[in-house]
């Protein structure tokens, strides 16, 4: 076509990026890469290799080493050796390296951009204007965090060695999200890029050498899922950070259940893109282009489910179809291209099969009639309508340029549809009425909500999901916390292996052979604000320390747990109540406990066999603890971020939802109160299994709850055997988080069962907590576990 013809058609002519410099770089390495371990390039011990292919041309770009177990051992050992020196380098020392990395990324920005285009198939425009600038920003921002770390996180230490596994959709950006916070906080890293896209990670390794990063601080091991599985399971790894599919996230949770490795999982999504009838429809259409056709839709937080208000549905769909026709699909190296190639044949096949199935199930499929290049892996922008909310296409993460569309009539219906998936990564709300948008934001189960915008990211703003989209945040202050531990936690003594395993027989078999007390209280379960009999019809006799029969508690079972979870879920109004109201109820609980403190002290003393002084101290501290939780109820607040550009991000601390709590035997009243009071102070409802040895102290507490205006269902108490009840709670889809302080023997099973809905599990990790220590038993550490951050992005300023 001549220039004149192009001019007359007003079509974009080709504007190819010259890949020569990146190709030269590959040639300099003879298109053959080893592993980057301890600051050196090394061959893989197993000599296994695979090719990296350009999905737009089918060309083999380079031969990549596949790391085996010996290589992983070597890389983890290098990271371990380097770690103490890296930490001792101090804040300023680490900050300088992070700054140097930021500068080096900028200096080589075009090479890095082209390499990811070649390897992944993503358009150069996006790499140049979005990915690479965000990578540099991430290192700059974290250079800053490294500098001020000691002031901002006093008495904190790095976890140690971090194993990081990343996907192929944003190869360099995901690397930056992983490496920058780990390094800023004094950890060292072994990172495995995805097998389809290893090149920018290898190029980054070279940048590490160029800035003189101490050997072993960053190690890059390439390979497939098998390499990843070996890395995350390595016994000398302290932290696993993973981004990828929910399926693999679940495998990783199971594989690490028997260890104390800290986990952050950034998993899949099926994010709603909600358009109200008063939205600026043209802006919403551009938002959709960014939401679902950015990066070919291979985005974990892609706005892949369009929910449109019925009155404007036809109008919006017309506009969407027209806009789809003007999207330009083609060579990723063409600067005028919007939609590039799909990363690999397997992914293309996956997209095809999901769309084919949707059509078979009755969906209407509209595909843009955009010219498809003759070679390469391409899939046209696609719109599926007439899909049911529960259909496969509307529920499955497609990870391709495919939008499913549904309509809604009312805001309530929009919320119900939006939340109707197992995921909870992101959501986008479009309305010119700020009231509408901000009324919806808190009701959406999503870690990120974009108002009148979509796919916004920044190093200062935490990113991560609710529900099966994973847990933990990357970016911002909360992202750093995922790589730090409070120093006191390192000094905690180990619990004896047998701790908390004392399991009483069911009633009749009687421990406590001593005389029964005069008045035997018949404790019941406490569910939905009522004292109820257990489903099992059994009770457990509870003996005093001296062997006397103290009373009996019900033997709760699976059905009782289900009832308790149901009651907790019904008490959702607690979540919406404000901190001020919750504080008042907590103060009232403290007041009522105070009135009965003598009774609780003597009961406690008889149960545990301690002195009257120690029992009185435990009751007194428990009252103080409730005061502390009440004090925090309206003070554990979020933050407002100012990311670059015309926006504000409100980082809100939201309750987890329903928390299952398995209480320890140690200081049974104080531990129970510390855990429950903080959980409910943050707006959660709880299902608690009290200490197995001293459950009567919790059943006595019912009366306090009943007289303190605690709404029914906010606190539910199911007595029984923690090792039986904990896996039930952990597997329950209606429980959002689990705090496990029971016997060590039940810890791994509890973690493994949590994959049911990817609930966050917090445990003692085999350490003896001192519940008297305010650093361990109250305040921010507990509230952090009781909340998850939701980032709401709102347009702001001119």
Residue with the CB atom nearest ligand NAI in the bound state: 228
| CA 668 vs CA 36, 190, 615, 664: distances in Å | 50, 41, 10, 6
Quick check: 199 binds ligand NAI (CB under 6 A)? no
Quick check: 292 binds ligand NAI (CB under 6 A)? no
Dihedral of CA atoms 694, 695, 696, 699 in degrees, nearest 10, equals 160
Quick check: 468 binds ligand NAI (CB under 6 A)? no
Nearest-approach distance from CB 788 to ligand NAI, in angstroms: 18
Candidates 180, 178, 187, 189; CA nearest to 156 is 187
Active site residue ranges: 266
Q: Which residues pair with 549 in a beta bridge?
A: 516, 543
The 3-state secondary structure of 1-20, one letter per residue:
CCHHHHHHHCCCCCCECCCH
Measured from the CB atom, the residue of 267 and 460 that comes closer to ligand NAI is: 267
Quick check: 116 binds ligand NAI (CB under 6 A)? no
In the list 228, 297, 660, 746, the residue contacting ligand NAI (rule: CB under 6 A) is 228
Segment (H or E) for 32: strand 32-33
Quick check: 224 binds ligand NAI (CB under 6 A)? yes
| Range 697-700 contact pairs with CB under 8 angstroms and sequence separation of 24 or more | 697/600, 697/603, 697/604, 697/607, 697/668, 697/669, 697/672, 698/663, 698/668, 698/672, 699/521, 699/523, 699/524, 699/526, 699/553, 700/521, 700/523, 700/600, 700/603
Tell me the two tokens of residue 753: 């069962």
Contacts of 95 (CB under 8 A, 6+ apart): 143, 144, 146, 147, 184
Span of 243-251, 519-527, 605-613, 743-751 interacting with ligand NAI by CB under 6 A: 243-251
Span of 4-12, 77-85, 246-254, 531-539 interacting with ligand NAI by CB under 6 A: 246-254
Quick check: 489 binds ligand NAI (CB under 6 A)? no
Q: Which residues pair with 275 in a beta bridge?
A: 308, 430
Candidates 661, 650, 629, 633; CA nearest to 736 is 661
Measured from the CB atom, the residue of 245 and 707 that comes closer to ligand NAI is: 245
Three-class DSSP category at 568: helix
Nearest-approach distance from CB 289 to ligand NAI, in angstroms: 20
* Alpha helices, DSSP H, located in 121-242: 124-126, 132-152, 171-184, 199-210, 225-233
Measured from the CB atom, the residue of 347 and 592 that comes closer to ligand NAI is: 347
Quick check: 244 binds ligand NAI (CB under 6 A)? yes
Tell me the two tokens of residue 90: 């101090």
DSSP assignment of 366-428 = EE--PPPPSSS-----EEEES--TTSHHHHS---SSEEEEEEESSHHHHHHHHT-SS--SEEE
3-state helix, strand, coil in the chain (%, to 5): 45, 20, 35
Tell me the two tokens of residue 751: 């973690």
Measured from the CB atom, the residue of 164 and 653 that comes closer to ligand NAI is: 164
CA 123 from chain centre, in angstroms, equals 28
User: Sign of the C-alpha dihedral, residues 570, 575, 577, 581?
Assistant: positive
Quick check: 89 binds ligand NAI (CB under 6 A)? no
Measured from the CB atom, the residue of 40 and 224 that comes closer to ligand NAI is: 224
Quick check: 251 binds ligand NAI (CB under 6 A)? yes
**Count of residues interacting with ligand NAI (CB under 6 A):** 26
Separation between Cα atoms, residue 363 and residue 384, nearest integer Å? 6
Supply angle C-alpha 296, 302, 303, rounded to 5: 115
Span of 45-53, 80-88, 221-229, 509-517 interacting with ligand NAI by CB under 6 A: 221-229
Span of 39-47, 228-236, 442-450, 769-777 interacting with ligand NAI by CB under 6 A: 228-236
Quick check: 596 binds ligand NAI (CB under 6 A)? no
In the list 45, 134, 211, 229, the residue contacting ligand NAI (rule: CB under 6 A) is 229
Tell me the two tokens of residue 252: 């990783």
Nearest-approach distance from CB 229 to ligand NAI, in angstroms: 4
Q: Which residues pair with 540 in a beta bridge?
A: 553
Separation between Cα atoms, residue 369 and residue 100, nearest integer Å? 46
Measured from the CB atom, the residue of 167 and 664 that comes closer to ligand NAI is: 167
Measured from the CB atom, the residue of 64 and 95 that comes closer to ligand NAI is: 64
Measured from the CB atom, the residue of 166 and 555 that comes closer to ligand NAI is: 166
Measured from the CB atom, the residue of 178 and 760 that comes closer to ligand NAI is: 178
Helices vs. strands in the chain: H and E counts, helices first = 30, 32
Tell me the two tokens of residue 718: 């199911």
Separation between Cα atoms, residue 153 and residue 628, nearest integer Å? 21
Other residues' Cβ atoms within 10 Å of the Cβ of residue 241: 29
Burial of 781 (0-12, 13-18, 19+ CB in 10 A): middle
Span of 125-133, 192-200, 318-326, 734-742 interacting with ligand NAI by CB under 6 A: 192-200
Q: According to CB under 6 A, which residues from 161 to 190 bind ligand NAI?
A: 165-169
Span of 82-90, 222-230, 455-463, 708-716 interacting with ligand NAI by CB under 6 A: 222-230
Measured from the CB atom, the residue of 165 and 281 that comes closer to ligand NAI is: 165
Nearest-approach distance from CB 442 to ligand NAI, in angstroms: 24
Quick check: 225 binds ligand NAI (CB under 6 A)? yes
Separation between Cα atoms, residue 444 and residue 441, nearest integer Å? 6
Q: According to CB under 6 A, which residues from 335 to 354 bind ligand NAI?
A: 347, 350
Contacts of 10 (CB under 8 A, 6+ apart): none
* Alpha helices, DSSP H, located in 647-717: 668-681, 696-706
Nearest-approach distance from CB 579 to ligand NAI, in angstroms: 33
In the list 162, 194, 619, 623, the residue contacting ligand NAI (rule: CB under 6 A) is 194
Nearest-approach distance from CB 225 to ligand NAI, in angstroms: 3
Nearest-approach distance from CB 268 to ligand NAI, in angstroms: 4
CA 283 from chain centre, in angstroms, equals 30
Q: According to CB under 6 A, which residues from 253 to 272 bind ligand NAI?
A: 267-268
Separation between Cα atoms, residue 767 and residue 432, nearest integer Å? 52
Q: Are 431 and 276 in contact (CB under 8 A)?
A: yes
Per-residue contact string for residues 386-415; x = within reach of ligand NAI by CB under 6 A = -----------x-x----------------
| CA 305 vs CA 311, 355, 393: distances in Å | 18, 14, 9
Nearest-approach distance from CB 312 to ligand NAI, in angstroms: 30
Span of 225-233, 356-364, 434-442, 611-619 interacting with ligand NAI by CB under 6 A: 225-233
Span of 101-109, 159-167, 531-539, 657-665 interacting with ligand NAI by CB under 6 A: 159-167
Quick check: 424 binds ligand NAI (CB under 6 A)? no
Nearest-approach distance from CB 285 to ligand NAI, in angstroms: 25
Nearest-approach distance from CB 421 to ligand NAI, in angstroms: 13
Nearest-approach distance from CB 460 to ligand NAI, in angstroms: 21
Nearest-approach distance from CB 150 to ligand NAI, in angstroms: 33
Measured from the CB atom, the residue of 252 and 671 that comes closer to ligand NAI is: 252
In the list 195, 338, 482, 560, the residue contacting ligand NAI (rule: CB under 6 A) is 195
In the list 217, 252, 368, 542, the residue contacting ligand NAI (rule: CB under 6 A) is 252
Quick check: 232 binds ligand NAI (CB under 6 A)? yes
Measured from the CB atom, the residue of 211 and 255 that comes closer to ligand NAI is: 255
| Range 610-617 contact pairs with CB under 8 angstroms and sequence separation of 24 or more | 610/545
DSSP 292: I
Quick check: 243 binds ligand NAI (CB under 6 A)? yes
Where along the sequence are the contacts to ligand NAI (CB under 6 A)?
165-169, 192, 194-195, 224-225, 228-229, 232, 243-245, 248, 251-252, 267-268, 300, 347, 350, 397, 399
């Amino acid at each position: 076509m001549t220039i004149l013809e192009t001019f007359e058609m007003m079509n974009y002519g080709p504007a190819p990026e010259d890949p020569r410099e990146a190709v030269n770089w590959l040639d300099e390495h003879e298109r053959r890469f080893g592993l980057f371990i301890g600051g050196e390039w090394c061959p893989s011990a197993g000599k296994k290799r695979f090719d990296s292919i350009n999905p737009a041309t089918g060309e083999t770009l380079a031969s990549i080493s596949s790391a085996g177990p010996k290589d992983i051992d070597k890389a983890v050992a290098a990271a371990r050796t380097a770690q103490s020196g890296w930490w001792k380098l101090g804040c300023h020392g680490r900050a300088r390296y992070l700054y140097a990395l930021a500068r080096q990324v900028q200096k080589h920005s075009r090479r890095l951009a082209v390499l990811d285009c070649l390897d992944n198939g993503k358009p150069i425009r996006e790499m140049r204007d979005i990915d690479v600038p965000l990578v540099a920003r991430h290192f700059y921002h974290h250079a800053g965090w490294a500098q001020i770390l000691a002031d901002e996180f006093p008495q904190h230490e790095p976890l140690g060695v971090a194993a990081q596994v990343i996907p192929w959709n944003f190869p360099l950006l995901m690397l930056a999200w992983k490496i920058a916070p780990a390094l800023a906080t004094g950890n060292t890293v072994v990172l495995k890029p995805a097998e389809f896209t290893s090149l920018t990670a290898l190029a980054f390794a070279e940048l590490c050498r160029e800035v003189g990063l101490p050997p072993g601080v960053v190690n890059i091991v390439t390979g497939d899922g098998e390499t990843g599985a070996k890395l995350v399971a390595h016994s000398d790894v302290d932290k696993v950070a993973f981004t990828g599919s929910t399926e693999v996230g679940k495998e990783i949770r199971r594989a690490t259940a028997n260890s104390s490795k800290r986990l952050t999982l950034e998993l899949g999504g099926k994010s709603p893109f909600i358009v109200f009838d008063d939205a600026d429809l043209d802006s919403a259409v551009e938002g959709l282009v960014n939401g679902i056709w950015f990066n070919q839709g291979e985005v974990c937080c892609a706005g892949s489910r369009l929910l449109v208000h019925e009155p404007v549905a036809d109008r919006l769909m017309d506009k969407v179809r027209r806009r789809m026709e003007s999207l330009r699909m083609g060579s990723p190296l063409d600067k005028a291209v919007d939609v590039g190639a799909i990363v690999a044949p397997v992914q293309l096949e996956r997209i095809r099969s999901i769309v084919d199935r949707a059509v078979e199930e009755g969906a209407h499929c509209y595909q843009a009639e955009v010219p498809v290049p003759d070679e390469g892996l391409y899939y046209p922008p696609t719109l599926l309508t007439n899909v049911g909310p529960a259909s496969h296409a509307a529920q499955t993460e497609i990870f391709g340029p495919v939008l499913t569309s549904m309509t809604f009539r009312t805001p309530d219906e929009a919320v119900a549809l939006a939340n109707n998936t197992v995921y909870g990564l992101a959501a986008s709300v479009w309305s010119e009425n700020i009231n509408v948008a901000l009324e919806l934001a808190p009701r959406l189960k999503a870690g990120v909500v974009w108002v009148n915008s979509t796919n916004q990211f920044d190093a200062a703003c935490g990113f991560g999901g609710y529900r099966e989209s994973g847990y933990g945040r990357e970016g911002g202050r909360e992202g750093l916390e995922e790589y730090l531990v409070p120093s006191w936690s390192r000094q905690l003594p180990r619990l004896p292996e047998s701790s908390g395993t004392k399991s009483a027989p069911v009633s009749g078999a009687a421990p406590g052979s001593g005389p029964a007390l005069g008045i035997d209280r018949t404790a019941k379960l406490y569910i939905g604000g009522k004292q109820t009999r257990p489903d099992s019809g059994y009770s457990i006799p509870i003996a005093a320390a001296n062997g006397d029969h103290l009373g009996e508690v019900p033997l709760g079972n699976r059905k009782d747990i289900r009832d308790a979870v149901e009651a907790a879920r019904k008490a959702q109004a607690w979540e919406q109540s404000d901190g001020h109201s919750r504080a008042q109820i907590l103060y009232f609980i403290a007041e009522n406990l105070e009135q009965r403190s003598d009774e609780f002290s003597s009961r406690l003393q008889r149960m545990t066999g301690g002195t009257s002084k120690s029992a009185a101290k435990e009751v007194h501290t428990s009252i103080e603890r409730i005061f502390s939780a009440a004090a925090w109820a309206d003070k554990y607040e979020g933050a407002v971020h100012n990311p670059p550009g015309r926006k504000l991000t409100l980082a809100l601390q939201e309750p987890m939802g329903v928390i299952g709590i398995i209480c320890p035997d140690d200081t049974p009243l104080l531990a129970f109160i510390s855990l429950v009071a903080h959980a409910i102070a943050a707006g959660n409802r709880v299902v608690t299994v009290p200490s197995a040895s001293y459950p009567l102290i919790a059943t006595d507490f019912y009366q306090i709850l009943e007289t303190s205006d605690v709404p029914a269902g906010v606190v539910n108490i199911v007595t029984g055997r923690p090792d039986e009840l904990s896996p039930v709670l952990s597997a329950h889809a209606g429980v959002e988080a689990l705090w496990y302080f029971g016997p060590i023997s039940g810890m791994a099973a509890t973690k493994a069962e949590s994959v049911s809905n990817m609930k966050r599990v917090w445990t003692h990790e085999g350490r003896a907590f001192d519940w008297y220590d305010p650093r361990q038993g109250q305040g921010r550490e507990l509230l952090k576990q009781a909340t998850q951050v939701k980032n709401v992005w709102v347009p702001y300023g001119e």
